[in-house]
Chain A
Amino acid sequence: MRSDRPRLLYLAFFFPPSRASGVFRARATADHFAAKGWDVTVFKAPDDYYERVTGSIDPEFAASVDPRVEIAAPPVSHFKWETDVRRYGRFRGNFPVLARRLNDFLHLKVFPDNYLSWGVSSLREALRRHRKRPFDMVVATGNPFAAFGAAWAFGKLTGRPFVVDYRDSWTLSQFKNEPAFPPDHPAWKWERRILRSAAASLHVNRNMLDWYAERYPEAADRMQVVLNGWDPEVFAETADPAPADEHRPLAFSFIGTITLVQPIREMLEAFRLMRESGRHADASLDLYGHYGFFAGGETVLRTELGLADPIDGVNYRGAVPKPRIAEAYDATDVLLFVTGGSKYVTTGKVFEYMASGKPIVSIHEPGCAAEEVLRGYPLWFVPASLDPADIAAALADAGDAARKADPAVTAQARAHAAAFTRGNALEGFEQWARDTVAERKPR
């Protein structure tokens, strides 16, 4: 009977058709729980927000969500992002500074997050639905962290267990490796309050968990690592890579979203040096993906990253929808894993890279959390440093490996990646959630 199924409320502001960072983890979580027999209800942002504010929307992506997942979109206030003055009310139209200060005051005093309005409307909608048919558990993924606030309030009001999923960290600046807020900021108070009551908190890697466990020891025993992973359907029909034809120029590729935090300039310089050195002199570098997570930033990013003018051998191939991403991997001989990662950043892309079974060159600061999962991947090439000359040497070595493409090594690479599917990553957490619900409410 449908009513016997455990019922999960999943608060994920960014959910398909949004193509924001981390949306794949949200979709995978909802799909995984639905596949395991849960009745899953997702609260996401209205599509209107993705269209008008982030401008990053992929309608095809929405169709990839498991049809058993019920989706609702509680409203979000556009105050912070509204630029159309015609939509301003009389008060804001006449007293814009006062209106802004009042809005800032509310966000600072009530809950320190720009998406507070979405958290409030989600809570209201969750309580309405809970009265009709109770939820058994709430999982909230951040950012935005108003989702955590809503889950906490829901848990307090209904007594149901809630889980916070740190897809991104809240009070830790992952790219700077330092606290994101001054010590007296209310975010610290709220985070402590939420972690104290949460049934569990999920973190994307061990380093992140350790950072939180150190700050909130009272909640450390309820912290879990749930890695990101790759989606098996992406590589369902991909054959093992064959050795690259001796006479065919090699294709080096970066696949992912291009942002300012990545060492893109170093990558471009290293690629130029490799070609000049004569090793793979005719190679091309293909960039697949969007410029930034928000529409309208392409011109600035291109200029800042040195991609404004054409570069010999470098091609921007544009974004590829997820269902066709395998085509980009098929057209690639060597993958460049470029991230602004610190020891707290894993990225979701690294798992997909490994699943391709192709040589991967790491272009990031040493100590990045992604190294944790790449360790043991036999086609992983690590430059001695971020110096372009060192990267160029690693690129050339990876190119040589692509020319050889030993089937045994490729099989070993794919076997390593097989352990990192989304399903495997979520398996333990789903079982824990099922046990927790069963303990609380014996059926």
Chain B
Amino acid sequence: MTDPREAAPDRVVLVLFHKNSVRRAVPFIDAVAARGVRVSALVADGLGWHNPPPLPAGVEVYSLGRAESRRPFVWTYTALVERIPGGVLRRLEHLPGPLGRAAGKAGRVQRKIAGRLRRRVFWPVYRPLRSHAVRRAALRRLGPLELDTASRLVLADDAAVPLGWTLTKRHPRLDVTRSLHLGPYQDHPVIAPVPEGPDRPAAPRPYRQL
């Protein structure tokens, strides 16, 4: 039997750069998917995405997480402040005797300080730059999203706006919006039930890296 969604020409690409947007986006995804609209999601789930709510099953999710982590500023900071000192101390922890115990204690102190630095130094500096950094990473990797076949690009948060604004120049016919309302799909007939409850299926992880 043919899935009626396959016959539907409409396709929405949802852009989520902040994990708090996921909860708001899920009802939108459910509503348009129930109306036979295919949904793809582009998520920047590299930094600051601890325990986000799952995206519904059926959504093709593309991740910019790895690409974001490789941005020079992010990579250099995490390497110098978190990964290299942390890695060295973790290895030293395995040494026997007082050196190992001292390394264990130093490791705990290092993790505490790194956590504070991340909150108080890294994020205040990086947050205003993040949407530009991710835009730069995204623009080189958008091929698999096939934006030419999408009818609507929905930006779920402010951080995604710079990418969306640039894409309005590259794709003159693409409808780029900040609205999570049904909009043009309002009158589409509902052809599939909306799954409910805590056990509803989620999009499989890890997401496809761009």
Show the binding face of A for B, using Cβ within 8 Å. Answer: 82-86, 88, 92-98, 100, 296, 299
Contact = CB atoms under 8 A, between A and B. Distances in A.
Interface stretch (B4-12, B75-83, B138-146, B155-163): B155-163
A397 B158 CA distance: 55
Q: Which of A83, A85, A86, A296 has the most CB of B within 10 A?
A: A85
A95 B129 CA distance: 10
23 contacts: A82-B178, A83-B178, A83-B179, A85-B155, A85-B168, A85-B178, A86-B168, A86-B176, A88-B161, A88-B165, A93-B161, A93-B165, A93-B166, A94-B162, A96-B131, A96-B159, A97-B128, A98-B128, A100-B158, A296-B182, A296-B186, A299-B31, A299-B182
Q: Which of A93, A98, A100 has the most CB of B within 10 A?
A: A93
A357 B190 CA distance: 43
A92 B181 CA distance: 21
Main secondary structure of the interface of B (DSSP, over half): helix
B177 interface: yes
A84 B177 contact: yes
Contacts of B179: 83
B164 interface: yes
Contacts of A95: 162
Given A85-B168, A296-B182, A296-B186, A96 B161 contact: yes
A299 B181 CA distance: 11
A96 B130 CA distance: 12
A85 B162 CA distance: 9
Closest 4 A-B residue pairs measured CB to CB?
A: A93-B165, A83-B179, A96-B161, A85-B176
Contacts of B155: 85
A92 B158 CA distance: 10
A85 B158 contact: no
Contacts of A94: 132, 162, 165
A296 B178 CA distance: 15
B158 A83 contact: no
Given A94-B162, A97-B158, A85 B181 contact: no
B182 A85 contact: no
Interface string B97-133: 0000000000000000000000000000000100110
Contacts of B132: 94
Nearest to A83: B179
A442 B124 CA distance: 65
